[in-house]
Structures are given as structure tokens and as C-alpha cells.
Chains A and B, each alone.
Chain A
Amino acid sequence: MVDESFFIDIDCVQEKKHGQNTFGDCFMSKRYPDEGRVIAVLSDGLGSGIKANILANMTATMILRFIAAGHDLTKATEIIMETLPICQVRKISYSTFSVIDCDDSGLVKIVEEGNPDFVHMRNGEVVEHEPEIRTSKKFTNRRMHLYKFKLEPEDRLIFCSDGVTQSGLGTEQYHLGWRREGLIDFLRDELKTDKTVSSRHLARLIVKEAQLKEPGRLAKDDISAAVLYFRKPRKLLVFTGPPYHAERDEEYAAIFNDFPGKKAICGGTTANLLARCLNKTITTERPRPGALPACSHMEGVDLVTEGILTLTKTLEYLNEGGRIPDDPAGKLMELLLDSDCIDFMVGTRLNEAHYDPLLPVQLEIRKNVVKQLEKILSERYIKKVHLQFI
């Protein structure tokens, strides 16, 4: 099982400027599991649409590459600040950025250039920090803000593009936009309501709220919110497939039952087996038309779904990375994304009926689907994933 240290839950939610077909802000993050470190960049490209998208992407990619190559964060960002071109039309720089470098002990370094100041929330209140300021030698209007401090468990850092703080700008209610103060009030309220809200949810709430400020809910600029939450890891155990050695069913059922965290079962046979071993009953939801079999329920288990079709669909959704559909695979995706450390117990006993050539669709082999889930969850969604074949 995966280890117990603190976890950096980081995620970003974005909304495009109304009428554009691509994002003008870019968020990228990379986890270095060996060093227990996460680097993330939020960059806002000048303007909107494809041009802004390229500028923001370029900036974020360059910063991540510099750091991956072993360069010091301050040095890397300084080079970017000194070299970012100036737009010939608007005479301002091509992009702004925030960089976050955080490790498992909570030590965090932040560099901001041009983006709204981040917000540090602790116990529902704001902690303000004095930055060290570096002014560009070449461009007097470019200034980097450097911060270095230590996070305490349950602390949060909130970063956003100016699409958030300037939302509603010029409207009667928000002459000057929602502003950082408005965002802080909102964060206070939200964190009072739900102290342990995940980064993804909080980021989504911020983006939604910013959009609400805009007339007709049409975003005037790209809106991005990135949240970092330093906390005890949320654990999830997914049990899928019956164990190869049926005589060990009881043993694995006990491990499942004692798992400290959320639990999901993917597979009808697996659900029956666990219900039998743990002396629990399964209730199924009413059958409804849909592309996937309906979910079932078992006491003490957070989600019970069918196996291979649902897992395959979930993998598809994770690859698409869009909105989460309201079906069993969407529910599983939601559960996976809300967890930090995910254990898969994968039973390898085959169901011969699945390999009948008469089946109208080809069913994937469970082991392969789970391996692909592991890859995308750890690489793209930066989760700690552990597989166990049983």
C-alpha cells in the first residue's frame, strides 16, 4: 500500500473567453515522486484564443523544462522574465506567470510575474506574505515576486488568472471587478461550508463564481483558478475481479473491509464475492436505459459498478479529460479524481464467457485496462497509484 506522508493536492479549472475555441491561459504541473516535489505553472497569454494559448503554453513549458533540467527556480524565472518578447501592438509582454514549487514537507517557493497575487488560506483566514521583489534589468515594468515559506497541514494556496479577479469589471455591481478581496471573501465562506473540499472542487467553484459576475455569464477573458491543498492523503481502494485462487477470497475480502479510506467495487462477480464473504447485501439501482449497467449499493462501500465495460469507459473519460458525465463511469472517475492515493486490487481469475467470440463487442482484458488507468492517473492526474494483482 502507498505511504502515509502528506500529500499535495493540486488542480486547476479553466473557462475559455466567450467566443473563443481554445484556452488563453495554461496550467501545467509535474510531480517528482522521488523528491516528493511538485512544480506547477499557471501562465496567462496575452490576448485570447489560439495566439494566447500558444504564448501561455510556451511560457509554462519552458519554465517546467528549465526546472526539470535542474535549474534553480529563481534563475529559470529570471531568464524567462528577461526574454519574454513584447507585443508590438500593445507594448506589453507576451505572457504573465505564477510558478509553484512545493515539497512533501510543506516547503513552498513561489514566483509570480504579472498574475494576481496568490491567496494563502490557513484555518479559514488569509495569511499575507511579504515578497522579495526582483525588477527586470531590461524591462522596468516587469517585476517578479518571490516567496518562500512553510505550509502547515490543511493550508491552501489559490492562484488565478486576472480573468477571475477582473470578472464583472464595468458592471454596476462590480465596477472594478470581483477583485482579490472579493475572491478572499468567497474563499472564507466556501471553506467555512466545506473545510475539506478538494482542490478540483474549490477551483471549479471559483471559476463558476467568477463567471456569475459576468453579464450573461459570458466570460470576457480566460478564467483560470489553480488550488494547492496540503493535506493527509485521501485513499481509495478499487477492488476489481475475483482473485485467481478462490480459496483466498476471504483473505482479500478482509483486506478490503479493513481498508482505511474510500472503497469501490468494479465487477458483478466481485461484488457478489465480497458480499458473500463479508455477509452484506447488495441492492441494485432500478435499471435505466444507458450505455452502462446501473450501479449497485453495499453498506460501507462508496461505489459498486459493473466491471470491464465501466472501467473501459472510465479510461475513455479520463483520456478525454472533459466534464464528468452522469453515469456509473463518471461516478468512478469522480471518485478517482477526488483521491490522492489509489490502490487497485485486481483479481486475475478469468471469466471465460468474456472471451466468447460470439460476443458482439470485444472485451478488454482487465489487467490491461487497469494498467492504462494507472498510467493516466499517475502521469496526467498526478495521483499516487499502486497495483496489486491477486
Chain B
Amino acid sequence: MENSAKKIEIEICLGTTCFVMGASKLQELETLIPPKYRSLVEVKANTCMDLCKNATYMKAPFVKIDGELITEANVEKVLNVLERKING
């Protein structure tokens, strides 16, 4: 994959609920992504995805990878999904 290709976007919700439920640890995600993948990925924060108060979800913290929602996200889960996205 070339660098000019569209990057995979990882969006971490940093709202209060997500933050205390574990997103604080996801803030260092960028440094935990395997070096070979780093150039393919862009890590962003979201002020609040407004999902914590939604009864359908209720599983903070939330992360989206190219729009795909990960509930009860942690570093391992995020990296697994990322791996799948990259390697198909």
C-alpha cells in the first residue's frame, strides 16, 4: 500500500465516560501500533460520540475504525481490528 492512499482512520472517543472506562489508556495507542503499520493509520480523538447515553450501546469506551464501531475498546481489540482491516 502506498503512503498516498487513504489512511485508515482510528477515532477514539475521549468523552468523560469513555475516558474513565479506559480510553485514557487508548491515548497512547499511536505509539503501540506496530511500526510497519504506522504510516497507514491516522489516530484521532473525538470529543464525545454521544454513545454512552444510548441504551443500544452502553459499552464504553468506544473506538471507530473507518466507521466500524468497537465497544468496550482496549488496545488489543483495536489492534486486532486494525490488523484485519489491513490484511483483509
Nearest B residue to A293 by beta-carbon distance?
A: B14
Q: Are B17 and A353 in contact (CB under 8 A)?
A: yes
Give A364 Cβ to nearest chain B Cβ, in Å: 11
Binary flags per residue of B33-69, CB closer than 8 Å to A gives 1, else 0: 0000000000111111010110000101000000000
Q: Which of B17, B43, B58 has the most CB of A within 10 A?
A: B17
Interface size on A, residues (CB 8 A): 32
Nearest A residue to B26 by beta-carbon distance?
A: A287
Which residues in B have their C-beta under 8 angstroms from that of A306?
Answer: 14-16, 19, 47
Binary flags per residue of A69-93, CB closer than 8 Å to B gives 1, else 0: 0000000000000000000000000
Give A327 Cβ to nearest chain B Cβ, in Å: 12
Q: Are B20 and A268 in contact (CB under 8 A)?
A: no
B73 close to A (CB within 8 Å)? no
Give B16 Cβ to nearest chain A Cβ, in Å: 5
B28 close to A (CB within 8 Å)? yes
Q: Are A287 and B47 in contact (CB under 8 A)?
A: no
Give B69 Cβ to nearest chain A Cβ, in Å: 16
Which residues in B have their C-beta under 8 angstroms from that of A353?
Answer: 17, 52-53, 58, 60
Give B68 Cβ to nearest chain A Cβ, in Å: 18
How far, in whole Å, are A294 and B29 apart by their CA atoms in the complex?
14
- CB-CB contacts below 8 Å: A290-324 with B: 290-294, 296, 304, 306-309
A127 close to B (CB within 8 Å)? no
A282 close to B (CB within 8 Å)? yes
How far, in whole Å, are A296 and B58 apart by their CA atoms in the complex?
24
Which residues in A have their C-beta under 8 angstroms from that of B23?
Answer: 293
A269 close to B (CB within 8 Å)? yes
Which residues in A have their C-beta under 8 angstroms from that of B24?
Answer: 290-291, 293
B82 close to A (CB within 8 Å)? no
Q: Are A354 and B17 in contact (CB under 8 A)?
A: yes
Which residues in B have their C-beta under 8 angstroms from that of A286?
Answer: 30, 43-45
Given the contacts A287-B43, A353-B53, A269 and B15 also touching, CB distance less than 8 Å: yes
Q: Are A268 and B15 in contact (CB under 8 A)?
A: yes
A123 close to B (CB within 8 Å)? no
Taking a contact as CB atoms closer than 8 A, the residue among B14, B27, B43, B44 that contacts A268 in the complex is B14
How far, in whole Å, are A293 and B45 apart by their CA atoms in the complex?
9
A284 close to B (CB within 8 Å)? yes
Give A306 Cβ to nearest chain B Cβ, in Å: 6
Taking a contact as CB atoms closer than 8 A, the residue among A271, A282, A287, A309 that contacts B20 in the complex is A309
Q: Which of A43-51, A100-108, A168-176, A355-363 contacts B (4 or more CB under 8 A)?
A: A355-363
Given the contacts A287-B45, A352-B53, A353-B53, A268 and B16 also touching, CB distance less than 8 Å: yes
Nearest B residue to A356 by beta-carbon distance?
A: B17
Q: Are B20 and A289 in contact (CB under 8 A)?
A: no
Which residues in A have their C-beta under 8 angstroms from that of B12?
Answer: 287
Q: Are A307 and B14 in contact (CB under 8 A)?
A: no
Q: Are B58 and A294 in contact (CB under 8 A)?
A: no
Which residues in B have their C-beta under 8 angstroms from that of A271?
Answer: 47-48
Q: Are B20 and A359 in contact (CB under 8 A)?
A: yes
Q: Are B27 and A360 in contact (CB under 8 A)?
A: no
How far, in whole Å, are A272 and B29 apart by their CA atoms in the complex?
24
Which residues in A have their C-beta under 8 angstroms from that of B20?
Answer: 309, 359-361, 363
Which 3 pairs from chain A and chain B are nearest by CB?
Answer: A268-B48, A293-B14, A353-B52
A267-B16, A296-B45 known; 16 new pairs, CB 8 Å cut-off, are: A268-B16, A268-B46, A269-B15, A271-B48, A282-B47, A286-B43, A286-B45, A287-B27, A287-B30, A287-B45, A288-B28, A294-B27, A353-B58, A353-B60, A360-B20, A360-B21
